Amino acid sequence: MTRDFYARPVNEVARDLVGCVVRHGDTAGRIVETESYHEEEPACHAFVGLTPRTHTLFEGPGLAYVYRSYGVHALLNAVVEPKGVGAAVLIRALEPLEGIEVMRARRGPVHDADHCSGPGKLTQALGIWLDLNATSLIDGPIAIEPRAPGYEPDTVTGTRIGITRAAELPWRYCDANSRNVSPPR
């Protein structure tokens, strides 16, 4: 993917990421679910402005924004829109493609469909931790690759999961045919 791919409106990028492939080390998975976050809505970390925590969100398109959620899980986001705009796409779920044995070792004894069916699960399965925050998604250790030729997901839109602010926004994008989409709460 190019920097220009990420330098577009957050909801366009979120929809277009469904079907792309995230690769880290010897593991990879197809993106089957994303959520959009923009500085103008209160569920986005950038809503509070530039802080040490949110700095990466404002640094420009094509970076990984990896943060800790609830003090436990590292979550992977793609920073989007032009530099100075705080916006990101949360990678919510993947369909495992490569390195499944490695994912099993990292995630433990869970059903294969559950290895990457949530944002904390997929970072654990792929070995993505906080030290990868602010690294390039273009030429860094985490790569997001285009959809396979001819692959076109049946993308549906819904409301985001697990948030209380701006929860009504239809900013969740899922592959309707995937069994790996994270379950609603």
Q: 181 lies in a domain?
A: no
Residue 84 has pLDDT above 90, yes or no: yes
- pLDDT of the residue at 44: 78
- pLDDT of the residue at 71: 62
Q: 182 lies in a domain?
A: no
Distance CA 63, CA 103 (A): 24
- pLDDT of the residue at 108: 86
Distance CA 143, CA 48 (A): 29
Q: 74 lies in a domain?
A: yes
Q: 15 lies in a domain?
A: yes
Least confident of 84-88, 112-116, 148-152, 181-185: 181-185
Instruction: Give the total number of structural domains in the chain.
Output: 1
Q: 60 lies in a domain?
A: yes
CATH, residue 64: 3.10.300.10
Residue 167 has pLDDT above 90, yes or no: no
pTM: 0.95
Residue 6 has pLDDT above 70, yes or no: yes
Kindly state the percentage of the chain with pLDDT values over 90: 74
177 conformational bin, left if phi > 0, alpha if psi -120 to 50, beta if neither: alpha
